[in-house]
Amino acid sequence: MQKNSIKFLNLMRDKNVRIKDIALKAKVSTGTVDRVLHNRGKVSEKVRVRVLKILEEMDYQPNLMARALGSNKVYRIAALIPDHKNDSYWFAPKAGIEKAEKDLKQYGITVEQFLFNQYDGGSFITQAEEVTKSNPDGVLVAPVYYREVLPFFEKWKELNIPFVLFNTQIPDFDPLSYIGQDSYQSGLLAAKLTHFGQSHPGTVMIAHIDEEISNAAHLIKKEQGFRNYFIQNNLDMYTVMRAELKKNETTSFNKQLDDIIEETPDLSSIFVTTSKAFDIAKYLEERMIKHIRLIGYDLLSQNLYYLNRGTISFLINQNPRGQGYWGIHQLTDFLVFKKEVKSIKYLPLDIVTKENASYYTDEDSIYNDIV
């Protein structure tokens, strides 16, 4: 009898265990098993214990995918993201979000986008308030305004609304998950690329363009990583300087760079912490400056243009499309499939040069197929 029981259990483990199989083994109806699984209806304690024991023995895993497909429940996700009309970088995460919604629509996922002006903190607050009023099942947010987003984290936690962060990591408020790069490590990587390209010691510059640094946690982390590379490797023969550049008017932007070039004759590399390396690349070409190595982020068409011309030496790809895509997937796994979601999903630090750029931009490439 014992051998037959073991044989039966092994057989069950070799295939998907159904509620029917559990009922057969427990000698009860499928309805009774269903009531035990969902802790509803009347079931005697003796039967309940027996069913639970058999569920454990047979390692029963509910087919949540099939259940979601058969359910009419709609899960409303709010995506709070910068408007790409103000900065083309944000078109990619928007596209990733829309592709995820399309892929997951069959499971009841709908996404409403709340777009804000990333250069206007008031716009962010207004849209975040709209998100809260809509009472979504989950929130995907790019928290580019550190101080302004914190009260909303508190409010969403009070309302039991899970939220996933992308682009900027803020772990202090226990988000469901963060999707993106390790900003500190990407700063280290940029410094290493800068160092390896140097023919002799000199001044290297960290350039923040159109950003309020004190309120941008991810940019602070990038700068820390960049500076610490030179400290950790005892490269005190290098000078690391910071420039906060404003691009409101082209003439003033160029004037700021003119002053820096004039006052720093040994400037040999510039690390742009955002996707706007092309602004400095354009300046360097206009001034016919060829000795300064330029490193930046993201595969925007403007950046790729200067990368292929050799004015930008390296781009670090942050996969913004993947950030939007996987952010919606993390919320879906939690809300629909009841999975335990990893608190951090770091995306790779891809180094892009003009020699390998086509691999990342080819629409038919394996890289792009993942999202």
CATH number at residue 125: 3.40.50.2300
Is 7 buried (19+), middle (13-18) or exposed (0-12) by CB count in 10 A? Answer: exposed
Range of the domain at 293: 183-317
pLDDT of residue 34: 76
CA-wise closest residue to 298 among 204, 196, 209 = 209
Last residue of a domain, one of 62, 83, 98: 62
Distance CA 239, CA 63 (A): 59
Q: Are residues 270 and 190 in the same domain?
A: yes
Is residue 351 situated within a structural domain?
A: no
Is residue 367 situated within a structural domain?
A: no
pLDDT of residue 76: 97
Q: Are residues 253 and 289 in the same domain?
A: yes
pLDDT of residue 61: 60
Q: Find the DSSP H helices in 58-116.
A: 64-70, 91-104
Q: Are residues 239 and 169 in the same domain?
A: no
Is residue 325 situated within a structural domain?
A: yes
Q: Are residues 113 and 219 in the same domain?
A: no
Distance CA 4, CA 371 (A): 47
The angle formed by the CA atoms of residues 63, 342 and 110, to the nearest 5 degrees, is: 60
Q: Are residues 7 and 54 in the same domain?
A: yes
The tokens 């390296």 sit on which residue?
Answer: 314
Is residue 282 situated within a structural domain?
A: yes
Is residue 362 situated within a structural domain?
A: no
Q: Are residues 243 and 338 in the same domain?
A: no
Q: Are residues 231 and 114 in the same domain?
A: no
Is residue 240 situated within a structural domain?
A: yes
pLDDT of residue 112: 98
Q: Which parts of the chain register pLDDT below 50?
A: 1-14, 364-367, 369-371
Inter-CA distances, 136 with 71, 87, 152, 257, 341, Å: 18, 26, 13, 45, 19
Q: Give me the number of domains the chain comprises.
A: 3
Task: Copy the structure tokens of residue 28.
Answer: 């009860």
Distance CA 279, CA 195 (A): 22
One-letter amino acid for residue 74 of the chain: V
pLDDT of residue 62: 58
Distance CA 38, CA 72 (A): 18
Q: Are residues 41 and 78 in the same domain?
A: no
- Residues with Cβ within 8 Å of residue 274, at least 6 apart in sequence: 89, 208, 209, 210, 211, 219, 296, 297
Is residue 287 situated within a structural domain?
A: yes
Q: Are residues 175 and 188 in the same domain?
A: no
Is residue 13 situated within a structural domain?
A: yes
In this predicted model, what pLDDT tens digit does every residue of 201-256 receive, in sequence order? 899 999 999 888 888 889 999 999 999 999 999 999 999 999 999 887 667 999 99
Q: Are residues 300 and 249 in the same domain?
A: yes
CATH number at residue 52: 1.10.260.40
Task: Copy the structure tokens of residue 229.
Answer: 């590379």
pLDDT of residue 60: 65
Residue 268: strand, helix, or coil: strand
Q: Are residues 195 and 293 in the same domain?
A: yes
CB 264 within 8 Å of CB 203? yes
Q: Are residues 21 and 97 in the same domain?
A: no
One-letter amino acid for residue 300 of the chain: L
Task: Copy the structure tokens of residue 328.
Answer: 């919606």
